[in-house]
A = this chain, B = another copy of it.
Amino acid sequence: MRDMYNVFHLAIPARDLDEAYNFYVKGLGCKLARRYSDRITLDFFGDQLVCHLSNEIDPNPKMYPRHFGITFRERRQFDNLYKLAKQRELPFFQDLMVRFEGMVEEHLTFFLIDPSNNLLEFKYYHDERMMY
């Protein structure tokens, strides 16, 4: 288990801050902490995500080697997020699938893509020890 008082932070590029706000706050339901002229900072599922205004946008995003997201301990949280993404019609890069089926590493996963081509992956493992 991780320390509940520390925070992971991740900085990513955004070609437009309003777009990023719409995707992360209005879409994914993250909270806006601060807005500057060149970036917005978000409470992303309890960790910090910073979207920096930038033109270094990946024109051809692929699953590997860059993506980020949350692995949930409870199935209900994963299901709720999937339902939200579908209902609010967030753009999927890869819809729900099972990986490593039948193995102890088996997990559910789906990928979203934000307006600046950053990829987000959300996962749920049947065996919580496989989360790392």
Chain A residues near B (Cβ < 8 Å): 1-14, 25-26, 29, 31-35, 41-43, 45-48, 52-54, 56, 64-74, 77, 80-81, 83-84, 87-88, 103-104, 121, 123, 126-132
- Would you call B2 and A46 a contact (CB within 8 A)? yes
Q: Is the interface of A mostly helix, strand, loop or mixed?
A: mixed
Q: How far is the CA of A70 from the CA of B8 in the complex (A)?
A: 5
Q: What are 11 of the A-B contact pairs (CB < 8 Å)?
A: A1-B1, A1-B3, A2-B7, A7-B70, A8-B45, A13-B65, A47-B47, A54-B65, A56-B66, A83-B127, A84-B104
- Would you call A29 and B73 a contact (CB within 8 A)? no
- Would you call B46 and A130 a contact (CB within 8 A)? no
Q: How far is the CA of A131 from the CA of B121 in the complex (A)?
A: 23
- Would you call A9 and B43 a contact (CB within 8 A)? no
- Would you call B41 and A32 a contact (CB within 8 A)? no
